[in-house]
Amino acid sequence: MKAELIQWMWELSKQHNTKFWAINTERNWNNEMPEDLHTKEWLKFGFTIDDDATRELILKELEAKGEFELTNSTLKNIEVNPKGITKAKGLELVCQRLGIEMKNVMAAGDSLNDLAMIKAAGLGVAMGNAQEAVKKVADWVTATNEEDGVAKAIRKWALH
C-alpha cells in the first residue's frame, strides 16, 4: 500500500480520535507510527472504532477514495487492504501452487474479511458466530468457534 495512503488514513484516525493499527514488512504498529513512515513498505491499515456513527463516516471516506478493499474482522473495526488484496486471492494463489482447483477447497470464516474467500471456495462455511452477511453467502453454517465449528465442518465435508 502506498505510504501516502497510510499517511492519509493515519491523519483520518487522528481527526476522528480512533484507535488504529498498521502493518508493514517489518512489524505491526498499534496506535503509533514510525517517524520515517514514507520509507517503509506498507501492507495494511486498520481502524478500531467503538462509535457506530464515526465508523460509518470513516467507511464512507475510505469508500470515496476508491483505492481499497474494505472489510472487518469484528463489528468494531475496519480493515483496509489495497484494491484486489483479499483472502480469496491468497487462497487462489496457494491452490495454484499446490495444483488444487478452488472447487475442491473448503473455506470457513466469520467476518467480512472472509466473505470473498467463502464465495470463491468450492464449499463456503460460515461459523455459527459469523456476521449475518457471511452466513447469507455461505453454503453451510457450522457451530460456533467455541463449539468446535471448524472441526465439525471438516468431519462432515472433508472426512465424510
Provide the whole-model pTM: 0.88
Mean pLDDT of the chain: 97
In the block, residue with C-alpha cell 480469496: 88
pLDDT of amino acid 30: 97
* Domains (range + CATH), the chain: 3-82 (3.30.1240.10), 87-158 (3.40.50.1000)
Burial class (CB in 10 A: 0-12, 13-18, 19+), 69: middle
Cell of 132: 449475518
Over residues 61-76, the pLDDT tens digits come to 999 999 999 999 999 9
For residue range 26-58, what is the model confidence (pLDDT) as tens digits? 999 999 999 999 999 999 999 999 999 999 999
**Per-residue pLDDT tens for 71-100?**
999 999 999 999 999 999 999 999 999 999
Q: What is the per-residue pLDDT for 138?
A: 98
Angle between helices 3-15 and 52-65 (to 10 degrees): 150
* pLDDT band per the 50, 70, 90 thresholds, residue 114: very high
CB-based contacts of 155, cutoff 8 Å, min separation 6: none
73: left (phi over 0), alpha (psi -120 to 50) or beta: alpha
**Exposure class string for 111-132: b at 16+ Cβ within 10 A, else e:** bbbbbbbbebbebbbbbebbbe
Q: Which residue is listed with cell 472426512?
A: 159
* 3 state SS of 11: helix
pLDDT in the model for residue 160: 75
